[in-house]
Structure 1
Amino acid sequence: MLQPVTIRTVKSYQQDNDNKCVNLIKIEDEISATFELLKILHNYNSSNAWTLLIAPDHVPSKALLDSCSINTSKLLMIRQKHLVNLEYVLSSALHNGNFAAVVTWTDIVNNKLLTNLSLDLSKTTTKLYCFIRDSITTEISLTQ
């Protein structure tokens, strides 16, 4: 049974205690995406859990992460070209309890997938962040 998905547009530095929402982060270009991503990764860097990054093929580089003191030993990065079943990967990561945050892009996760996922985010402590282009109008149905 599909559950309603609550969408919240935030900046990465805005923390919330609401586990029942998908956090959309508006980006204007690759530079703003990199800065927002680094803020998120830095926030979860000291966590005991993993951070899953489902990223486009060009973002980010290991040299950049190392230069920003991001602990890559707690970061699991899956490139877009290596994904076979995105819905399964997202569902598993959000519900297995080993991840503090899951970060992805709307180029990878589309509105339909966000709407149709049977994600009951109230049963997990994992945060879901999705980068969206500022120029793209994102309309996601809040009811199923």
Structure 2
Amino acid sequence: MLQPITLRTVKSYQQDKLSSSVNVIQIEDEISATFELLKVLHHYNNQNAWTLLIAPDHVPSKALLDSCSIDTTKLLVIRQKHLVNLEYVLNSALHNGNFAAVITWTDIVKDNQLANLSINLEQASAKLYCFTNNESSVELALAQ
């Protein structure tokens, strides 16, 4: 059953308890993406759950994460080139209870996938964050 979703454009420090929304984080470049990503990872670092990062190639290195005190033993990184079924991975991670957050980019999750997201976020145990540097992606998703 398809359910409408709510999209929120946030900065990573604007955390809340709403699990029924896709948190879209607007970024300008790779540097701002790295800072915002580190903020989200740091927020979920102390929870007793995994963080899934569905990542493009330019994500921060393990050395950078270690230097920022991010516990990489709780971080599962799947590179875009290794991903076969994105919707299955998103659905599984959001609903299986082992993940606190799922983080991805609009380069990976296309506009139509984001707009037609067919997972029930009301019952999701994890928060979904989607980084974008394309303002039209956010506007298109919000208009749906």
TM-score by length of structure 2 reads 0.94
Q: AA paired with 1:12? A: S
1:65-104 correspondence to structure 2 within 5 Å: 65-104=65-104
Higher helix share: 2
Cα distance in 1 for residues equivalent to 2:54 and 2:143: 24
Structure 2 gaps of 5+ residues are none
Q: AA paired with 1:129? A: Y
1:1-144 correspondence to structure 2 within 5 Å: 1-133=1-133, 135-138=134-137, 139-140=140-141
The Cα shift of 1:87 comes to: 0.7
Give RMSD over aligned pairs.
1.2
Q: Can you list the C-alpha shifts for 1:5-44, whole angstroms capped at 9, x where unaligned?
A: 1100000000111111000000000000000000000000
Structure 1 gaps of 5+ residues are none
- What's the secondary structure of 2:119's corresponding residue? coil
The Cα shift of 1:58 comes to: 2.3
The Cα shift of 1:90 comes to: 0.5
- What's the secondary structure of 1:69's corresponding residue? coil
Q: AA paired with 1:32? A: S
Displaced runs of 4 or more, over 2 A: none
TM-score by length of structure 1 reads 0.94
> Do the aligned residues in 1 keep the contact of 2:104 with 2:131 (CA within 8 Å)?
yes
Which sits farther off after the overlay, 56-65 or 96-105?
56-65
Cα distance in 2 for residues equivalent to 1:136 and 1:2: 25
Percent identity over paired residues: 71
> Do the aligned residues in 2 keep the contact of 1:5 with 1:142 (CA within 8 Å)?
no
> Do the aligned residues in 2 keep the contact of 1:6 with 1:22 (CA within 8 Å)?
yes
Cα distance in 1 for residues equivalent to 2:33 and 2:109: 16
The Cα shift of 1:117 comes to: 2.3
Q: AA paired with 1:16? A: D
Q: Can you list the C-alpha shifts for 1:38-93, whole angstroms capped at 9, x where unaligned?
A: 00000000000100000001212111101111000000000111001111100110
The Cα shift of 1:127 comes to: 0.4
- What's the secondary structure of 1:63's corresponding residue? helix
Q: How many residues align?
A: 142
